[in-house]
Amino acid sequence: MPTPSLLATADRRMLETFWNKPVHRTVLPNGVTAIVLADDSAPVASVQVWVKTGSIHEGPLLGSGVSHFLEHMLFKGTTRRAGRAISAEIQARGGNLNAYTTFDRTVYYADLPAEHIDTGLDVLADMVLHSTLPADEFTRERDVILREIAMTRDDMDGRLGEALFDTAFREHPFRHPIIGYKDIFSSLTHADLVAYYKGRYAANNLVVVVCGDVEPAAAHALIEQKFGSAPRGRLTPAPIAGEPAQLAPRSLDLFEDVELTRAGLAWQAPGLTHPDSPVLDLLSMILGHGDSSILWQALREKKRLVHSIDTSNWAPGATGLFFVSFTCDADQRATATAAVHAELRRALTSGLTHERLLQAVRQVVVGEINSRKTMSGQASRLGAAEVVAGDIHFSRAYFERIARVTTADLRRVLRAWLPAGRETTVSLNPRT
């Protein structure tokens, strides 16, 4: 007998309005992937270029942050535009231009009135394919990023996060910060930057997404016009080390001039497309999302051990992490950590109720709906589905899995993925 769906009828209907919109995907002869979604609910559009390269693809420059540095430099001028003209051209048409770099991708995007997608695509293609990477701007932008790196050292949450990743990952390049290490970053040369650009920014490593009040055939024609002549490249190899299973606990305690202890526990978790990943998302909601969650109620409201506590399931394309994070008084750290483990053990026999499961499903659905309220959000969902999951219809498969989760599934993944003795624990504490 099939498991009853956990999706409320109204929620499924809302999700199906997204899933049933035709997504037009083609691959140009040079390897550029073009994705177009028409949505006439507002006269705007989001135009995005996803470059399938991020900090984990830096090869011999691993830890340098060259992917992030290159993202900055693409705003400094092309063969057709001076640096100051790049953003100005989008702004003059009522839009905005921005970019970001992650572990596995670099994304450039323009949100603007739909009538100007020609300009949006032209500017983005020019940036991504024809940047000049001027040497004088290299020095200036390097100083800007050095200040950013210094700021991350002063951000205690950022310090904790970097330490947690560095301790939890021994082999996988997730252990290195996206922005890079100061010493390795400082050693980058202009030639390094140019070589990385030429080796990773090739037509066959690009995904172009257009979402908005557009006619699909016309949008595809524009993408082909702007990107179709870009050469297919032989991508610079970027071997990525696998992460061996963690078989024993790891810990690291840091001390800084802070008033409260920040602590994080992390377990190895599966990647985005693993069938257990949606179950872990729901488990995270139940354990530590909001003030009605299990850990908040137990450690914050009842035992008064922490000032705040939350959980998250970080699921990239490869091995991820399941986090429990909390702040507490320094003298409560050990007790609070032990209490987290006790509550996880207790959840195996009580607490993971059907009512909590339904509430978690609803929270995940609301998050999905909210993320799609804008053209930029819809385009980002499609880009992530293509680049990270390898399936532009991933959202449907994900929620079909969500709809069939049982409380037994929750207990199973808790036991399988969050076992005692295989966690990484990192804390940042007041100096004594």
HSE on the CB side for 210, CA within 13 Å? 34
Average pLDDT over the chain, rounded to whole? 96
User: Residue 404 gets which letter from DSSP?
Assistant: T
Which one, of 390, 378, 273, 318, lies nearest residue 33 by Cα? 390
Phi, psi angles (nearest 5°) of residue 252 = -150, 130
Task: Quote the pTM value.
Answer: 0.95
User: In a structure prediction context, what are the per-residue pLDDT tens digits for the chain, which is 432 residues long?
Assistant: 456 789 989 999 999 999 999 999 999 999 999 999 999 999 999 999 999 999 999 999 999 999 999 999 999 999 999 999 999 999 999 999 999 999 999 999 999 999 999 999 999 999 999 999 999 999 999 999 999 999 988 899 999 999 999 999 999 999 999 999 999 999 999 999 999 999 999 999 999 999 999 999 999 999 999 999 999 999 988 889 999 999 999 999 999 999 999 999 999 999 999 999 999 999 999 999 999 999 999 999 999 999 999 999 999 988 999 999 999 999 999 999 999 999 999 999 999 999 999 999 999 999 999 999 999 999 999 999 999 999 999 999 999 999 999 999 999 999 999 999 999 999 999 998
Which one, of 6, 35, 24, 23, lies nearest residue 399 by Cα? 6
Long-range Cβ contact pairs of 277-281 (< 8 A, separation 24 or more): 277/313, 277/315, 277/320, 278/398, 278/401, 278/402, 278/405, 279/401, 279/405, 279/409, 279/410, 279/412, 279/413, 280/313, 280/315, 280/322, 280/413, 280/417, 281/313, 281/315, 281/364, 281/402
Please return the burial class of 66, using the count of CB atoms within 10 Å of its CB with bins 0-12, 13-18 and 19+.
Answer: buried
Tell me the per-residue pLDDT of 51-83, one tens digit each, with 9 for 90 and over: 999 999 999 999 999 999 999 999 999 999 999
The per-residue pLDDT for 4 is 74
Question: How big, in percent rounded to 5, are the helix, strand and coil portions of the chain?
Answer: 50, 20, 30
| Residue extents of the structural domains in the chain | 31-227, 250-430
The per-residue pLDDT for 2 is 55
Collapsed DSSP state (helix, strand, coil) of residue 363: helix
The per-residue pLDDT for 1 is 45
- Any idea which fold 250-430 has? Cytochrome Bc1 Complex; Chain A, domain 1 (3.30.830)
Q: Dig out the tokens for 352 from the structure.
A: 């993971």
The per-residue pLDDT for 144 is 96
> For 1-86, where are the E strands, in sequence order?
23-27, 33-38, 44-51
| 31-227 carries CATH number 3.30.830.10 | yes
